[in-house]
Chains A and B, each alone.
Chain A
Amino acid sequence: MPTVVLMDVSLSMTRPVSVDGSEEFQRKNLAVHGLNMLFEHMASNYRLEFTSLMAFSSLWDLLVPFTRDYNTLQEALSNLEDYDKTCVESALQGVSNVVQQEWGSACPCQVVLVTDGSLGIGKGSLRHSLQTLKHRGDDKKFPLPFPFPTKMYIMCVANAEELQMTDAMDNLEELLRLSGGDGQIFSMEGPLCMKSVQAMFGRLIDYAYSPFHAVLHCGNLSSDVQVFPRPEPVVLDEEVEPMPRSVSTDLEIIGFIEIGDISSPPVISRHLVLPIAVNKEVDEVGTGATDELEEEPSASQMAGKSPNFCVLLHGSLKVEGMVALVQLGPEWYGMLYSQADSKKKSNLMLSVFDPGAEPLPWLGKISHLGPVSEAAENPYGEDDNKSPFPVQPQVKRSYAQNVTVWIKASGLQTDVQKILRNARKLPDKTQTFYKELNRLRKAALAFGFWELLKGVADLLERECTLLPDSAHPDAAFQLSHAAQQLKLASTATSELVKNGLIYNSLYLCGPRWRQHLFVLNIVRCL
Chain B
Amino acid sequence: IPKMFSVSHKTVFVVDHCPYMAESSRQQVECDVLTKSRAQGVIPLAPVSKSLWTCAVECSMEYCRILYDIYPKDKLVSSFFLHLFILQVNYIVSDSEFHILNSWRREDQSTHELMSALAAVGPPNPREDPECCSILHGLVAAVEALCKITELQHERRTTLMDTADRVANRGRIICLTNAKSDTHVRMLEDCIQETILEQNKLAAGSDRLMAIQQCDLVLVHIHPQGEDTLVSDRPKKEISSLLTSEVHSVRAGRHLATKLNILVQQHFDLASTTITNIPMKEEQHANTSANYDVELLHHRDAHLEFFKSGGSSDINLNKFAYMIRITVKSSEHNGTNVCFKVHQFVFKKLKTDMSPLCCAGDLHMAGTSTRENGLKETITLKWCTPRTNSIELHYCTGAYRISPTDVNSRPSSCLTNFLLNGRSVLLEQPRKSGSKVISHMLSSHGGEIFLHVLNSNRSTLEDPPSISEGCGGRVTDYRITDFGEFMRENRLTPVSESSHDPSGKLPAERAKAQLERYTRYWPMIISQTTIFNMQAVVPLANLIVKETLSDEDVLTCQKTVYNLVDMERKNDPLPISTVGSRGKGPKRDEQYRIMWNELETLVKTHAGDTDRHQRVLDCIIACRSKPPEEEERKKRGRKREDREDKAEKNGSKETEDKSWQDSERLKGLLDKDEQESEVIKDSPDSPEPLNKKPRLSTEEVQPPERAKGPVSLLTMWTNRITAANSRKHQEFIGRVSSVNNKFELYQQLKDENGMDVHENGKATR
Contacts and interface: CB of A to CB of B under 8 A. Distances in A.
B447 A400 contact: yes
Contacts of B5: 239-240
Given A106-B397, A405-B62, A523 B279 contact: yes
Nearest to B306: A105
Contacts of B53: 448
A466 B45 CA distance: 14
Contacts of A446: 57, 61, 114-116, 118-119
Nearest to A234: B1
Given A219-B512, A307-B524, A319-B484, A368 B506 contact: yes
Given A138-B358, A254-B508, A494-B120, A107 B457 contact: yes
Given A48-B461, A229-B460, A277-B471, A346 B466 contact: yes
A306 B446 contact: no
Interface string A44-62: 0000101000000000000
Contacts of A105: 305, 308-309, 313, 316
B489 interface: yes
B397 A522 contact: no
Q: For B83, B279, B460, which residue has the most chain A Cβ atoms within 10 angstroms?
A: B460
B385 A316 contact: no
A368 B508 contact: yes
B710 A294 contact: yes
Given A294-B710, A409-B30, A255 B491 contact: yes
A306 B316 CA distance: 48
A403 B62 CA distance: 10
A364 B358 contact: no
Nearest to B167: A240
Contacts of B399: 264-266
B214 to A, nearest CB: 12
Interface stretch (B197-205, B428-436, B513-521, B565-573): B513-521
A388 B59 CA distance: 38
Interface in A228-265: 228-229, 235-240, 242, 252-260, 262-265
A346 B391 contact: no
Interface string B52-76: 0110011101100100110011111
Nearest to A256: B487
Interface in A340-362: 341, 343, 345-349, 353-354, 356-359, 361-362
A319 B483 CA distance: 10
B58 to A, nearest CB: 5
B460 A104 contact: no
A370 B511 contact: yes
A190 interface: no
Interface residues of A, number: 183
B312 A497 contact: no
B669 to A, nearest CB: 12
Contact of A270 (B415, B461, B765): B461
Contacts of B453: 266
A1 to B, nearest CB: 7
Interface stretch (B373-381, B493-501, B590-598): B493-501
A280 B456 contact: no
B663 A405 contact: no
Contacts of A304: 469-475
B362 interface: yes
B391 A221 contact: no
Interface stretch (B233-241, B281-289, B743-751): B281-289
Nearest to B525: A307
Nearest to A137: B357
A164 interface: no
Contacts of A347: 464-467
A325 B361 CA distance: 39
Contacts of A133: none
Contact of A348 (B166, B279, B467, B478): B467
A525 interface: yes
Contacts of A281: 762
B492 interface: yes
Interface stretch (B131-139, B400-408, B638-646): B400-408
A362 B488 CA distance: 20
Contacts of A303: 470-472
A268 B396 CA distance: 9
Contact of A516 (B284, B311, B390): B284
A307 B478 CA distance: 8
B709 interface: yes
B510 to A, nearest CB: 5
A393 B110 CA distance: 13
A316 B483 contact: yes
Contacts of A456: 31
B403 A147 contact: no
A268 B3 CA distance: 18
A165 interface: no
Contacts of A274: 464-465, 470
Contacts of B80: 266-268, 353-354, 359
Contacts of A405: 58, 62, 65, 406-408
Contacts, number: 555
Interface in B383-415: 385-387, 390-399, 401, 403-404, 406-415
A523 B546 CA distance: 51
Given A238-B1, A391-B494, A459-B45, A403 B397 contact: no
Contact of B447 (A138, A221, A393): A393
Interface in A489-512: 494, 497-498
Contacts of A221: 519, 522, 524
Interface in B474-488: 474-475, 478-481, 483-484, 486-488
B441 interface: yes
B416 A400 contact: yes
Given A397-B69, A494-B122, A455 B470 contact: no
A278 B765 contact: yes
Contacts of B457: 103-104, 106-107
A393 to B, nearest CB: 6
Contacts of A174: none
Nearest to A395: B110
Interface in A285-316: 294, 297-298, 301-316
A521 interface: yes
A341 B463 contact: yes
A104 B475 contact: no
A363 interface: yes
B455 A106 contact: yes
A505 B369 CA distance: 52
Interface in A388-416: 388-400, 402-414, 416
Given A275-B471, A391-B446, A520-B414, A380 B491 contact: yes
Interface stretch (A192-200, A371-379, A425-433, A479-487): A371-379
Contacts of A275: 467, 470-472
Contacts of A472: none
Given A399-B449, A447-B58, A354 B81 contact: yes
B293 to A, nearest CB: 13
Contacts of B404: 399
A448 B447 contact: no
Contacts of A379: 493
Contacts of A389: 446, 494
27 contacts: A100-B313, A105-B316, A141-B311, A219-B519, A221-B519, A253-B515, A255-B514, A264-B443, A267-B80, A311-B478, A313-B483, A356-B76, A359-B80, A380-B488, A388-B493, A405-B406, A406-B29, A407-B254, A407-B257, A416-B32, A442-B115, A446-B57, A448-B122, A459-B32, A517-B284, A520-B280, A523-B279
The 4 closest A-B pairs by CB, nearest first: A308-B472, A370-B507, A448-B123, A219-B519
Given A448-B118, A494-B120, 20 more contacts: A104-B456, A104-B457, A106-B397, A221-B524, A223-B471, A240-B160, A264-B393, A264-B441, A265-B399, A284-B761, A367-B506, A371-B507, A380-B488, A405-B58, A408-B254, A445-B119, A520-B280, A520-B282, A520-B413, A522-B414
